[in-house]
Amino acid sequence: MENLKKGSEVILKNGEKATVVRTIGNGGQGVVYEVLYRNKPYALKWYRREYLKNIDQKEFYGNLCDNQAAGAPSDNFLWPLEVSGYTENSFGYLMPLRPKEYSDFSSILNAKKRFASIRVQIAAANNICKAFQSLHSQGYSYQDINNGNFFIDVNTGAILICDNDNVAPCGTWMGMAGKDRYMAPEIVLRKKHAGMESDLYSLAVVLFMIFFVAHPLEGRAVHSCPCLTAQYMRYFYAEHPVFVYDPVEASNRPVAGIDNNVIRLWNCYPKSLRALFERTFTKGLFEEGYRVRENEWIDCFNELDNLLVTCPLCGGEQFYSFTNDGAIDFVCEDCKKRIRKPFLLQGKRSKKVLYPGAVLKYSDISYTDDESICGVVVESHKRPGLWGLRIREDIKWEAKYSNGVIKKEGKVIPLFRDTELTIQDQNMKILI
Ligand SMILES: [Zn+2]
């Protein structure tokens, strides 16, 4: 059985049937169909015979069944829900359909779709890292992270990961090397099989593309190559890869007119983010221990989110600048008008900008993953220019102002610089 016709039935391992409705997509490994199962629509990936001929079919099928039985590491995976019966001709698996609000990652890379905001872009990057963190923490490696594996909701940053059929317990290799331009050097050079460490490399390539819409190793040296033959691909992506912003080696810098995105965007992001990419694509190219783990990315993305300021005049977004020149306002990079500087809340865990509309989560002020909202910054109607934190009613707080006044009751905490603030049992200070 190769191409499945509309109306044909696939018998699943559990004895039930799925009925083919239409073809959704064609790939190198197989065809994806929309099917009806228990009267609900699902996706069915059905492998090509030519693909199966070249791999250990029984091992591949067994791994698929193991993954299905174990269940998805998180809701972000379009994970095998049911597997078909095993035949030597072909087999496949059932997974959830992609909801229509999710776009292909490639449509973002070719600018057909755009993130609604930088905050949403950061959220998408964060969600991708959280999903791979849950996958890796359960002892799996993905082995083939590339631009075709993600669906992203550009309005919310929600993500889904597809093509989970190569996912296998760390140490088990499913025969997949990966995709050109996304594979770690040691995989291209066939020194190792794909695993968790090479996942971290490919993940960093994908994250770089999310932020800079460019490849981290494609600059002048690569562009000047007349034809990227297999030999040159091996040279530029594995034998002699050079990061476009390698602080020492400048031979592969971005080229104006070709790499405008990365040239324009690189310095817009805080140093903390640039430093993680720099580490991954310099020392981390060949020394796996220098590759950035998901928790480091997640901490960095939380910091970025905390330092992002939305202009009240034009909605433009920019990162808070720590240069303390004593000014109470700054020029918006987008509309070029002067806007008031936010307060900076210094907690034990992190810094966060406070300005009308900013949301304070419990995870911002405490070492916890609890992202419940503590309060929202508002501006007084009666006294324009006076900002306060509208605090959740069940939260205990105390504010000690620089003039010695202590306040601990009310729905809104007035915000002034140099205030010592305690929310629940967390101490923090409002700066600038
Ligand atoms: Zn503005």
DSSP result, 103-172: EEHHHHHTTSS--S-HHHHHHHHHHHHHHHHHHHHTTEE-S---TTSEEE-TTT--EEE--GGG-EETT-
- pLDDT tens-digit profile of 364-409? 888 888 889 999 999 999 999 999 999 999 999 999 999 999 999 9
Distance from the alpha carbon of residue 318 to the mean position of ligand 1, in angstroms: 9
Same domain membership, residue 107 and residue 87: no
Distance from the alpha carbon of residue 316 to the mean position of ligand 1, in angstroms: 5
What is the pLDDT at residue 294?
98
Q: Give the end of a domain, one of 237, 268, 300.
A: 300
Residue 324 lies in a domain: no
Distance from the alpha carbon of residue 310 to the mean position of ligand 1, in angstroms: 8
Same domain membership, residue 252 and residue 392: no
- Strands 308-310, 103-104: pairing kind: unpaired
What is the pLDDT at residue 165?
87
Q: What is the pTM of this model?
A: 0.93
What is the pLDDT at residue 322?
75
Is 50 exceeded by the pLDDT of residue 1?
A: no
Encoded tokens for 335: 């509309």
Residue 216's pLDDT band, with cuts at 50, 70 and 90, is very high
Distance from the alpha carbon of residue 331 to the mean position of ligand 1, in angstroms: 8
Residue 42's pLDDT band, with cuts at 50, 70 and 90, is very high
- pLDDT tens-digit profile of 135-174? 999 999 999 899 989 999 999 999 999 989 889 988 777 7
> What is the average per-residue pLDDT within 228-238?
94
Distance from the alpha carbon of residue 360 to the mean position of ligand 1, in angstroms: 22
**Is the pLDDT higher at 90 or at 252?**
252
Name the one residue in this structure whose structure tokens are 């776009």.
Answer: 103
Distance from the alpha carbon of residue 235 to the mean position of ligand 1, in angstroms: 44
- pLDDT tens-digit profile of 290-340? 999 999 999 999 999 999 999 999 999 999 987 766 778 889 999 999 999
CA distances 237 to 158, 201, 221, 275, 376, Å, are 30, 12, 11, 20, 46
Distance from the alpha carbon of residue 160 to the mean position of ligand 1, in angstroms: 33
> What is the average per-residue pLDDT within 99-120?
94
Same domain membership, residue 85 and residue 129: no
What is the pLDDT at residue 52?
87
When divided into structural domains, the chain yields a total of 3
Query: d(Cα 199, Cα 182) in Å, to the nearest integer?
Result: 9
Query: d(Cα 94, Cα 356) in Å, to the nearest integer?
Result: 46
Domain span holding position 163: 103-300
Residue 251's pLDDT band, with cuts at 50, 70 and 90, is very high
Same domain membership, residue 74 and residue 120: no
What is the pLDDT at residue 186?
95
What is the pLDDT at residue 2?
61
**Average pLDDT value over all residues in the chain:** 93
Query: d(Cα 369, Cα 317) in Å, to the nearest integer?
Result: 25
Q: Which CATH number is 127's domain given?
A: 1.10.510.10
Encoded tokens for 146: 């590339």
Distance from the alpha carbon of residue 335 to the mean position of ligand 1, in angstroms: 4
